[in-house]
Amino acid sequence: MKLGLEFYQRPDVLQIARELLGKHLYTNVDGVITAGRVVETEAYRHEGDNSMTMHLQRKRQQASALYVPGGHAYIYTVYARHALFNIATHDAAHPDTVLIRAIEPLLGVDEMLRRRGLGAPVRALTAGPGVLTQALGITPALSGTALDGNVLWFEDHGETVPAAAVLASARVGLAYAGAEAAALPWRFRISSSQWTSPAK
């Protein structure tokens, strides 16, 4: 069942980030459908999170895409090469977001391998926010796309990941935002998955 926009428009971005674990992310790019099971996310909140405050200031033009009702894609590029897929959550007045960090590839794996230039479905295929977008054909051109359409969407396949199976830890690469923001345990992983990103 495709997730409706109301799933993303709830006020608790941490809850949304946790509940996205086990959901299936789909893309339909150039008529090719690819999909994977979400195994790792990170939450970013506009209040009490200096990394988000700094992001909104540093990427002011791009970040305007976050001031929308929840359930739209927010995609930006880092290091001039990696596209990161985020989901705007809450409402237009609260620029909160969830970063999808890793998926377990399930559908269209041959196309994912072609896009990534790999010969076999190894961890490097989709274990990381910059590589999963490449595998799924997600580019900044899709920023602003509503997640209830037929290009980019999530489905609920009946899996609920129990709290005991979720590893919460500090997010990746946020030392620049200060110790408090860097230490927030807002990175969520399915602890048993072999497809989570290698960053500690």
Mean pLDDT, the chain, integer: 92
Share of the chain above pLDDT 70, in %: 98
User: What is the value of pTM for the model shown?
Assistant: 0.94
* pLDDT for residue 132 is more than 80: yes
| Segments making up each domain of the chain, as ranges | 5-190
Residues 1-24 have pLDDT tens digits of 999 999 999 999 999 999 999 999
Architecture of domain 5-190: Roll (3.10)
At 51, which amino acid appears?
A: S
Measured distance CA(151)–CA(188) in Å, rounded: 25
CA–CA separation, 126 and 116 (whole Å)? 9
What CA–CA distance (Å, rounded) separates 184 from 199? 16
pLDDT at 131: 96
Query: Which distant-in-sequence residues (6+ apart) come within 8 Å of 86 by Cβ?
Result: 44, 73, 74, 75, 76, 97, 98, 99, 100
Q: How confident is the model at residue 176 (pLDDT cuts 50, 70, 90)?
A: confident
Distance (Å, whole) CA 28 – CA 38 = 17
- pLDDT at residue 80, rounded to an integer: 66
What's the pLDDT band for 200 if we cut at 50, 70, 90? Answer: low
In this prediction, residue 177 carries a pLDDT of: 82
